[in-house]
A and B are shown apart, each in its own frame.
Chain A
């Protein structure tokens, strides 16, 4: 699950999940909700992503930025992610969604600021600050 949290200039998302895979998927859902797509069209959209990172926090932020970049470049929104591989430091994934006409919010990037993926008592969590 994700929830939006106050930030003076930007937007924070708090994500909590039962597994790393769910955390990544829920964070993607939160990001796509904030970008607020409009003008959904019938065309299917998809992208293959492969990322290496020094740790899980950077992996998550880089994954979300990759999805955001592709969403903007191809005017797409992603509603489903299927991971081929997801470890501490690398992932391969397929994003699926639909084409859109535009977005209601200009999310410039998902930042590393305040991001820290933690696992405690079976719960995975992190905060994310989105630059608006």
Chain B
């Protein structure tokens, strides 16, 4: 793929026309600046986006966000909307970490109030909320209890006493995707998930304490009860091993079943089946169960953060949910296409729903910034109501380990005023700020393109990672 293969639609949007490859059903569109496009062309992410544009039943265009980078099958940062009756469902368009997502909590504390306590708070979060691979959480659920979580998501965790009804009102889909069917989650998936509620995992997942350092939209910030200098907490994790296993199980089924439906895809990782097929229906019900597990996981972690706040800062310390979003999921939605209402399944893999008025949470890297944005009407017209999901990697994990010194990174974080609790030096360097794109530039694209507008910028002051 070269730049000459793309057409510039406007300063923030480029298109790969259908004529680029004979098997494309729709064009592919990328929200980016020309400068960022040069970087995007350095890997094979746009070739992967072209592959997505060949999926049976895809409508209008395959969409990529400015944080796009090479994945496997689908690129990370991609959106594919397929006809809900005649289209296909592809687990690769959701990813192995089903309902990986982000929750933002606001606290009643200012940065100045707790500045000196931050290292203690970070340490306390690391003790309270397990991270890494193989460390179980406080809850170990037996079969029936786990099934209730898979069916009801965050609601079941609130019923168990971990949180409030008001939390549920501030979660995408109220923290429960329905219908879901726990019976379609394999026994090995359940075994992997049994003790993982309330755990972060590793990789790019974290619990982070941030300070609101810039307010772009005072009115919207006020509605979210956020103000300059206020302390908030960001949680980034997903469905853990249970979700990974659901994806593996159903992708394997689909890879074998595809030929029966006469479907051929350019990459096996795009394996898909008709939405109305038994395999398609089963996957959607199992995916919903895994998504519910992820909502439940972030709800349980939020309860852990509240315990830390109470212990470290006193019993009246309020910690409330601002919002919780999924950025690896497929959803049934209605969109306007050619003046008519179309019923679609929207795959978002590394993309965040950005319906008008919906909060959009964009986690950045540990040394830069994260954002709260607000979805805009233009997103419905141009991106199936979607926005970016993060900064997007630019440096491989191997290169990060080769080029970045862990002790030097720790010193640098300290000099930036960021308290770090990391389970391993390897995990820390893999997630160094230079391994990611400039999150300010990425967010600027979606803001200027008008699909999501900036509300506040968050600066990390304490990071807990696996």
A-B contact pairs, 18 of them (CB 8 A): A4-B398, A6-B399, A9-B396, A35-B133, A36-B426, A58-B256, A65-B248, A69-B192, A73-B188, A102-B135, A103-B133, A103-B134, A104-B132, A104-B133, A104-B424, A111-B73, A113-B72, A129-B72
A105 to B424, CA, bound (A): 10
With A102-B134, A102-B135: A10-B202 Cβ-Cβ less than 8 Å: no
Type the 1/0 row for B196-207, where 1 means its CB is closer than 8 Å to any CB of A: 000001110000
Question: Do B244 and A108 touch (CB < 8 A)?
Answer: yes
How near does chain A come to B293, taking the closest CB pair, in angstroms?
Answer: 14
B274 at the interface (CB under 8 A from A): no
Contacts of B191 in A (CB 8 A): 73
| Distance between Cα atoms of A57 and B259 in the complex (Å) | 16
Interface string of A12-33 (1 = CB under 8 A from B): 0000000000000000000000
Chain B, Cβ-Cβ closest to A58: B255
State A101–B395 Cα separation when bound (angstroms): 30
Are A8 and B393 in contact (CB-based, < 8 A)? Answer: yes
Residues of A within 8 A of B (CB): 4, 6-11, 35-36, 53-54, 57-58, 62, 65, 69-70, 72-73, 75, 100-106, 108-109, 111-115, 129, 131-132
The smallest C-beta distance from B72 to any residue of chain A, in angstroms, reads: 3
Q: CB-CB contacts of B372-404 with A at 8 A, as 1s and 0s?
A: 000000000000000000000111111100000
How many A-B contacts at CB < 8 Å in the complex? 110
Query: Which residues from A are CB-within-8-Å of B396?
Result: 6-9
Given contacts A6-B398, A6-B399, are A104 and B426 in contact (CB under 8 A)?
Answer: yes
* A111–B399 alpha-carbon span in the complex (Å): 21
Q: Secondary structure of the A side of the interface?
A: loop
Q: How far is the CA of A112 from the CA of B132 in the complex (A)?
A: 26
The smallest C-beta distance from B189 to any residue of chain A, in angstroms, reads 8
B367 beta carbon closer than 8 Å to chain A? no
Name 18 extra pairs, CB < 8 A, besides A7-B70, A9-B76, A69-B245. A6-B398, A8-B43, A8-B70, A8-B396, A9-B71, A11-B397, A11-B398, A54-B256, A70-B188, A73-B192, A103-B134, A106-B203, A109-B244, A113-B72, A113-B268, A113-B269, A131-B72, A131-B96
Residues of A near B284 (CB, < 8 A) are none
Which A-chain residue is minimally distant from B399 (CB atoms)? A6
Total interface residues on B, CB under 8 Å, equals: 46
Closest B residue, CB atoms, query A113:
B72
Q: Which 3 A-B pairs have the closest CB atoms?
A: A102-B134, A113-B72, A112-B268
| Cβ of B66 under 8 Å from chain A | no
Closest chain A residue to B76, Cβ basis:
A9
* Given contacts A73-B188, A102-B134, A132-B397, A10 and B255 within 8 Å (CB-CB): no
The yes or no answer to B466 lying at the interface (CB within 8 A) is: yes
Choice from A8, A65, A70, A100 contacting B134 with Cβ under 8 Å: A100
B134 to chain A: which residues have CB within 8 Å?
Answer: 72, 75, 100-103
Contact with A along B202-223 (1 / 0, CB 8 A): 1100000000000000000000
A57–B268 CA distance with the chains assembled, in angstroms? 10
B40 to chain A, nearest CB (A): 11
Question: Contact between B255 and A132 (Cβ–Cβ < 8 Å)?
Answer: no
B70 touches A9 (CB 8 A): yes
Q: Which of B9-57 contact A (CB under 8 A)?
A: 43, 45
Contact yes or no, A102 B133, CB < 8 A: yes
Q: Whole-angstrom distance between the alpha carbons of A7 and B397 in the complex?
A: 8
In the assembled complex, B115 has its CB within 8 A of some CB on chain A? no
Q: Which residues of A contact B267 (CB under 8 A)?
A: 112-113
With contacts A69-B248, A101-B134, A102-B132 known, is A10 near B398, CB below 8 A? no
